[in-house]
Amino acid sequence: MPRERFAPDEPREWLNRSRSNLMRARRVEVGIYLEDLCFDAQQAAEKAIKAVPTEHRPRCD
């Protein structure tokens, strides 16, 4: 079941995207290159890290 979608600048959306990449990285199937799994794992880490400064940026409310 898909997670709730948030605005692109929301930290929760970065974490959703991180989880999505991590789920793809865990799919070990015949014919999938190890480099592709590693790329998705690396993307998951980057997106999770991106959520931190996005959460702590100054807001213009």
For residue 51, the enclosing domain spans 11-55
Per residue in 23-57, pLDDT (tens digit) is 999 988 899 999 999 999 999 999 999 998 887 77
Could you tell me which residues come within 8 angstroms of residue 9 by beta carbon, excluding any fewer than 6 positions away? 54
Once rounded to an integer, what is the mean pLDDT over residues 2-13? 88
CA distance 10 to 30: 36
Number of domains in the chain: 1
Q: What SS3 class is residue 37?
A: helix
Residue 28 covered by a domain: yes
Is residue 44 included in any domain, yes or no? yes
Q: What is the pLDDT of residues 11-22, one digit of tens each?
A: 999 999 999 999
Distance between CA 52 and CA 36 in Å, rounded? 25
Residue 28 is predicted with a pLDDT of 82
Asked if residues 7 and 13 have their Cβ atoms less than 8 Å apart, the reply is: yes
